Each structure stands twice: as structure tokens, then as C-alpha cells.
Structure 1
Amino acid sequence: MKTAINVIYFFVSAAFLFAALSSCGRSDQPASPAIVIMGDERLTLDDLRSSIPREMTANITKADFEDYVNRWIDSHILYQKGLDLGLEKNPDIQRRVREFEIRLIGAAYLDSTLETKIIVTPQEISKYYEENKDIFVRSKQEIHLKHLLLEDKATSDDLYRKLRRNQAEFDTLLVQYNSHLPEDERDLGYVSEDDVAEIIWSKVKNYRNNAIVQPIKTDFGYHIFKVLDKQEEGSIKELDDVKIEIEARLRQQKLEENYTSLLTQLKASVKIETYFDLLNRIPLDSIVSRNGAEFARGQ
């Protein structure tokens, strides 16, 4: 759910952002096919692709794309009407655009300077795991599951009978029927009762390792689960199960360290004058008021 919210938030924000960034027009006719043409403005397929952060590509649906295109249209219409009123000349608007430009270019500089230089080695991951095993203790029972997702009951019943006779066919059937699904939707890894629907957990928890679970019907279709392993509350997760999590933690840690180091170096190369004593002389509730501004000018 959190990922879905992030995707929606991105598209809502990006639609309005794209309107502002594309306001200068294009000198060259784009080779990419146009999805929308509106006056002198156009949204091309390449524009759409380049607007999507890499980390979101796996979670975006066609409905998200359509929503983005519709919001692009809405934002461009509103943007053009704002230009008709001369709002781009408003000092407050210009200031906010400038602030955004500073943040955007600064963030791009950080990406190009820091992200590409961060490397997390297997040795660092192993060391972190050995030194922090206590944070990888299971708080609840977890079960490692794979599952087939099928559209109709007849097919699920037929495959279940086949698997009862020969469990070794599970991975073959998984490829045959669910190759269109991402790997993490076929092999769910270790999950707890908080990660799956109650109707699923209430069934799979009663099966032994390597058992095939009788088809379970949900709103998504018919599921046939294979129980690969069970780990009880209080057990420690294996390194292979937390490698990705550890790498993300170490990467973020290095990013923050490099960010602090980089800013320290950059600040040392620039003359910066600060007047925090001025803020200390102005009452907090009047800093944003006209009287506060007049007070500051009078100092």
C-alpha cells in the first residue's frame, strides 16, 4: 500500500512539475511519438519514460500512466491560463520557481556526485550481519511461501491434483502459468501473519515444510501455495534473507556520511556570512510578520 501511495504521489506531483519545466518549449521536433498534442506543447512517449524514477518502474500500471497524462493535460491548461494573466511575472512566483530550481539542480548534483561512488561490498554486508544479528530476530512466526495464482477454480483444482502426485512439478507450473508475474510475486519469501490475508495465513500455518496447500480463493483468484520452510518467533533470519535490507542500510549510511563530508568541503571553499543574532533579537511570532521585517530593518 505504501508503494502504491508513493506512485500516486509521484504522478500527481510530476504532472504539475512537468508543466513548469516544459514551459520553455522545444526547438527540435521530437522523434518520439506524441501521446498528447495541445497547441505548441506535446507530451511524447520519451517524455513519459524519462519522468519516471527507476525505483518506481516496477510498480507503475497503465492506469497510473493514463492518470499522469490526464494530469499533464490539466496542469498545462491551468499553466497557460496563468500565463495569460501574467502570473509568471509575480515576484512571489518567481521566487518560488527559483527556490525549486536551486533544490532540483542541487539534488541532481548530489545524485551525480555521490550515488555513483557508493559501493557496498559482500564483505561489508557479512560484517554488518554478524555484528547486528540481534536486529534480525523474528518477532513472529514466518513461513517461506511460493504460490501459483490462477483465474478459475477448475484449473486450480486440476493443478492441485497434479501437484499432490508430484510436488517437483511446482516450479515448472509456476513458469508455465505465472511467468508474467514478477519474481517476488511468485516466491513470496518469508512472510508473517501481518503480510498476507487472514484467510491465507489460517490455512498455510497448518501445513508442514514442502507441503502443497489446497487452493485458496481470494479477490485476486485462486492460490496454490507451497510451504518451503517455517521459522519460529525468536529465530534469527539468515543472511541471504536480509542481504538486500542490509545493503540498503549501508548504502544510506554511506550516502549520509559522504553528503556531510561533501558539504563540509564545499562550505570551506566559499565565504559564508551568517547573522543568527538578528533572528535572536526578533520575537519568534513576529519573524514572518510585517512588524518583524520593519524591526529587522531598524536594527
Structure 2
Amino acid sequence: MNRLNIFFVWKRCFSYKVLITILTIIIFGCFKSRDDEINEQIYATVNGIYLTESGLRAIVPKEFYERLTPEHKRKIVEEWINKELLYQEALRIGIDKEPEIQRLLLNSKQNLLSNEFLERELSNIKIPGENELKKYYEDNKEFFKLNAVEYRVRYALFDNSKDATSFFRKVKNSESFSNLA
């Protein structure tokens, strides 16, 4: 083997070793060990699934979490246990595999993601002030002109038909509607 081939073989082996090392770090970095969970307060366990402090914080909106009393936390934990038991039973009997449930899950996911996208996009939009709106109007008046015929509708309400008939005759005889109303 010549030097060039040896270099390419070495380079390829080195690349694989680096790639395997990086993938190993990424994969093991994604898993939370039981020791990591123990460092955090565990409120409940259901068949090996833990409700930790961070899990409880994820359930309760930030603005309310600090004001939770021990009784509130207990009720939230009980509710989580009930939901987790129901969820695990639903998975056990295969409800999540049913086509209708799959369709509903996909629909919910699409709604959630599209709403979140809109929320993020709309939060970046700057709302123009009154001066900016006036300037835009002045600069673009031609876009605000109506190209159609404009009609003005006027009406008058009466308690009885006698007053309505009298009013109609006066308007018909060229008296001003505005003066009569």
C-alpha cells in the first residue's frame, strides 16, 4: 500500500471513531439517569414513571406555581396519578393504535403547532402607532377611495301608521328628510 492509500484509510477510520464518539455522547446525554431524577424531589411514581419537581412545574403555569399550598400540590399530584394510570391503561389495551385516535392525535398536533407558530410570528409584529397610521393613509389615499357608487340610507321609526303616512307625504312633496326627522 502506498502512503496516499494509508492516509485515506487512516482518515476514514479516524472519521468513524469521531462520529461514533459524538453519537455516543449525544445518545447518552439524552437519557436522564435515575440518579438525576433522585436529585430532584419526586412527588409520585406510577409504574416507574416519576412526577418530579420539574414535572409538577410543567403542569402548573409559572405565575401560579409559587403560590401553591401543600394542599394544592397534593390535589395536583393525585390528579396526575389518576391521569397517568388511565393513560398507561389506554396504552396497554392499544387505544393509541386505533385509526380514529391516530387521526385525532395528528389533528391535535397540527392545531397545537400551527397555533404556536402563529403566536410566535404575531408576537414579532410591531403594532403601528397613530402617527404611523395617519402617514400611511396620507401616502396611500388612492387605496382608500371607493370605486363603487355610494348610497346613504336614512330611516325614521314611527309608533303608528298615521304618523308614517304623514311623514311619507311630506317627503314626497319635496320637504327635506333631515328637517322632518
Structure ranking higher on relative contact order (CA contacts 8 Å, 6+ apart): 1
Structure 1 and Structure 2 fold alike (TM over 0.5): no
Whose radius of gyration is greater, 1 or 2? 2
Q: Tell me which protein shows more helix as a share of its residues.
A: 2
Aligning the two structures, in what range does the TM-score lie when normalised by the shorter sequence?
0.3 to 0.5
TM-score, length basis structure 2? 0.44
TM-score, length basis structure 1? 0.28
Q: Tell me which protein shows more strand as a share of its residues.
A: 1
